[in-house]
Chains A and B, each alone.
Chain A
Amino acid sequence: DAGITQSPRHKVTETGTPVTLRCHQTENHRYMYWYRQDPGHGLRLIHYSYGVKDTDKGEVSDGYSVSRSKTEDFLLTLESATSSQTSVYFCAISESYRPTDTQYFGPGTRLTVL
């Protein structure tokens, strides 16, 4: 299994509070991704990173920001959490952007915004 951890694994927070989720990898892969998973939607890309300090938006980026100061860590921040951001969040990694490079996923973080 790819060395990917996510923290926290579960979090309950209140509307309007800031939340940061962390993804940590030990594979030294260049690309990292944040997805959210909601019933009836599958997984949707929020943001991705193609290197330290290099990030870009995905399909559902509104309300989220990311940072990557080290190769191994990719942070997802909800500046002011809303109930619509209640979801399961997955981090993924890949060696490059090439389709030949499979993405490997972390265990997920369940976030509940009350």
Chain B
Amino acid sequence: AQTVTQSQPEMSVQEAETVTLSCTYDTSESDYYLFWYKQPPSRQMILVIRQEAYKQQNATENRFSVNFQKAAKSFSLKISDSQLGDAAMYFCASVGGSEKLVFGKGTKLTVNP
């Protein structure tokens, strides 16, 4: 079975600074995918970024990038030039093989002006 662990229940960052959210996972699948979802106060779950495990290159989407360390089973999210609108809960998730999407417990990010 897959597991996803987010060890930081809360994080804070100053506006315009960079912050990194941590995620570790465990899976027996050789082909799997990792995701970061954002949940703002509106509660909508929004896909931020996706990483295919077979790709060595780290995924990037504008100010969001990941540091994917396959051997260490680590998948951290870096947010550059943080904006007030980045304040939200962030969930790491994993899916692979016949397994269904599994989420971590989330990290609450506060952005201070």
Interface residues in chain A, defined as those with a beta carbon under 8 Å from any beta carbon in chain B: 33, 40-45, 48, 58, 88, 90, 92, 97, 99-100, 102-105, 107-108, 110
9 of the cross-chain contacts (CB-CB < 8 Å) are: A40-B105, A41-B105, A42-B104, A42-B106, A43-B45, A58-B100, A92-B45, A102-B47, A108-B44
Verify B91–A42 contact, CB threshold 8 A.
Answer: yes
A58 to B46 alpha-carbon distance, docked (Å): 22
Q: What is the interface residue range for chain B against chain A?
A: 20 to 34
Beyond A43-B103, A58-B100, whether A108 also contacts B31 by CB under 8 A is no
Chain B: minimal CB distance from A92 (Å): 8
**Cβ distance A29 to chain B, nearest Cβ, rounded Å:** 14
A42–B105 touching, CB < 8 Å: yes
A99/B44 contact (C-beta < 8 A), A42-B105, A45-B100, A58-B100 known: no
Q: Which residues of A have CB within 8 Å of B91?
A: 42-43
**A90→B100 contact, CB < 8 A:** no
**Are A99 and B47 interface neighbours, CB within 8 A?**
no
Give me the 4 closest cross-chain CB pairs, A-B, nearest first.
Answer: A105-B45, A42-B103, A99-B33, A108-B43
Give the nearest-CB partner of A2 in chain B: B47
Contacts of A107 in B (CB 8 A): 42-44
Contacts of B100 in A (CB 8 A): 33, 45, 48, 58
A12, B44: Cα distance in complex, Å: 20
Whether the pair A100, B101 counts as a contact (CB closer than 8 A) is no
In the bound complex, do residue B43 and residue A104 qualify as a contact, i.e. CB atoms below 8 Å apart?
no
Say how far A73's CB is from chain B's closest CB, in angstroms: 20
